[in-house]
């Protein structure tokens, strides 16, 4: 594959980017193209997104008070 008429500025930025990633320009272009055509990540629900975002933060151990009264039905107006 050949890419003609590539702007010199683009070529230079590719060279710098490749050097930053420790790759040749050809390997960098391959990585860019692979990422560009990769399938989008699978959508997940809000609950799973929150869980994956905060799963590494630990948790909290809460002491729940014992129930001293018997539960009663709510007193709703008629």
Domain definitions of the chain by residue range: 8-37
> Residue 15 contacts by C-beta under 8 Å, 6 or more apart in sequence?
25
What's the gap between Cα 20 and its chain centre? 22
Q: Tell me the pLDDT of the chain averaged across its residues.
A: 88
Q: Tokens 């997104």, residue?
A: 49
pLDDT tens readout for residues 39-76? 877 777 888 888 888 877 777 788 888 888 888 888 88
């Amino acid at each position: 594959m050949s890419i003609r008429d590539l702007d010199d500025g683009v070529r230079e930025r590719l060279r710098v980017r490749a050097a930053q990633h420790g790759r040749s320009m050809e390997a960098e272009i391959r990585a860019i193209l692979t990422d560009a055509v990769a399938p989008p990540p699978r959508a997940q629900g809000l609950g799973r997104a929150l869980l994956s975002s905060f799963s590494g933060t630990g948790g909290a151990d809460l002491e729940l008070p014992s129930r001293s009264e018997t539960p009663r039905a709510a007193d709703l107006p008629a």
